[in-house]
Structure 1
Amino acid sequence: MKNNYDFMENIGLHEKLSLQEIPEIDLYMDQVIQLFENKFKETKRTEGEKVLTKTMINNYAKAKVFFPIRNKKYTKRHMILLSLIYQLKGSLSINEIKGILDPLNERIVTDDLAIDWLYETFLKQTDKNAQIFTASVEASIKELTELIGAAEGNDEDTEYYEELLVVASLAHMSQLYKRAAERLADKISENRTNK
């Protein structure tokens, strides 16, 4: 791959919805969808893909993944929860997401919990995660390039082999992270069940 990391530029590595970008006023569903579409457009794989749809939001509401809305409007806390759901949905099912967000939703409803601090902490960690991810991918590519170079010499398909192994390596890492997230989600649910 000759240290070619172009593909890393188009994955939305630093795309996030900051607290400052979330309006203080309540929004209707179409406004929420537009906010997410504008903010996370770089994370889409294809042009026609949607970041968030009415159906998705309605499914989250039916499954009680977030606390009920009032007057068809979504508060800042709803948008924070939707942003978290957006991050979680790639690895966890709606039921698993509901299980880990239930305690937070309960505290929001019963104690009027402000969650800006929690979300800000998450956003800071996503910046660190992006740095760790970039360094890890670059190290993997370098290692695989050296291994392929040593094994194959100057084969005309060397770049293809490198790219194939990088895809396989990234998919493997993705599965490891997904399994770890699933296990922790299970633990949260088990702890709540045992109370």
Structure 2
Amino acid sequence: MENASDKIQNWVKQVQEHQTAGWDSMPEIYLYMDQVITYMERQLNLFGRDEQSVLLTPSMINNYVKDRVLPRPDKKKYGREHLAMLTIISLLKQVLSIQDISSVLNSGNGEVFQKEIYETFRVAQQEELASVCERVNTAVEQGEEELLWLACALAVEASARRIVAERILSELSHSKTESEEKQS
């Protein structure tokens, strides 16, 4: 029977080997909702709290479309842009509000912009995960108490980074609103 440290090491190994699909590796064909869910489960399965975590459901997707975070599907079919945006939304919604995520995703338009945002996100995520995985491996070697301290340190770092990200997005939003009001 595996202990917690062994399970953590196995998970870290999977994360280190995982490659979130690049823009050009995503399906070029349009997918129906059930196919989107299946595809996204494969993309996101390592990033939940545990194996039973559900990071995306059809009702979540419908709400993102209704709230204009995600573009409307074309005849109930979702394309590469949708998959990229859903990946970003699913992973960032644990840290940022949907409103903040929407402001980032919808701050430009066109496929080139969406590709750039997605690829920047994907590479940054991969680099951060690699760094954190190194820290986890070091902590595992030192024992469960060190893992507990690392979990606490990572939570504090995440909180601090969320606070800064929210402030930046808030200031940018206020600045954009003031600029639009001056132009009116």
User: Per the shorter chain, which TM-score range?
Assistant: 0.7 to 0.9
Q: How does 1:1-195 map onto structure 2 within 5 Å?
A: 7=8, 9-10=10-11, 12=15, 14-104=18-108, 107-108=109-110, 113=112, 115-137=114-136, 141=139, 159=143, 161-195=145-179
- How far, CA to CA, are the matches of 1:24 and 1:15 in structure 2? 18
In structure 1, give the amino acid aligned to 2:115: D
In structure 1, give the amino acid aligned to 2:78: Y
Corresponding residue for residue 156 of structure 1: none
- How far, CA to CA, are the matches of 2:177 and 2:118 in structure 1? 25
Q: Which residues of structure 2 form unaligned runs of 5+?
A: 180-184
Q: Which residues of structure 1 form unaligned runs of 5+?
A: 146-158
How far did 1:113 drift? 4.5
| Contact 1:99–1:188, Cα closer than 8 Å, also in 2 | no
| Contact 1:26–1:75, Cα closer than 8 Å, also in 2 | yes
Corresponding residue for residue 182 of structure 2: none
* Greater shift in the superposed pair: 94-103 or 63-72: 94-103
| Contact 1:100–1:188, Cα closer than 8 Å, also in 2 | no
In structure 2, give the amino acid aligned to 1:62: K
How far did 1:71 drift? 0.5
Instruction: Please give the per-residue CA displacement for 1:165-189, whole angstroms capped at 9, x wherever unaligned.
Output: 2222221112112212222221332
- How far, CA to CA, are the matches of 2:144 and 2:112 in structure 1? 52
In structure 1, give the amino acid aligned to 2:69: V
Instruction: Please give the per-residue CA displacement for 1:23-67, whole angstroms capped at 9, x wherever unaligned.
Output: 111111111110011222122223332131011101111111022
Q: Secondary structure at the match of 1:190?
A: helix
What is the TM-score normalised by the length of structure 2?
0.77
| Contact 2:105–2:114, Cα closer than 8 Å, also in 1 | no
Change (3 A) 1:67 1:125: same
What is the TM-score normalised by the length of structure 1?
0.73
Which is higher, the Rg of structure 1 or of structure 2?
A: 1
In structure 2, give the amino acid aligned to 1:131: A
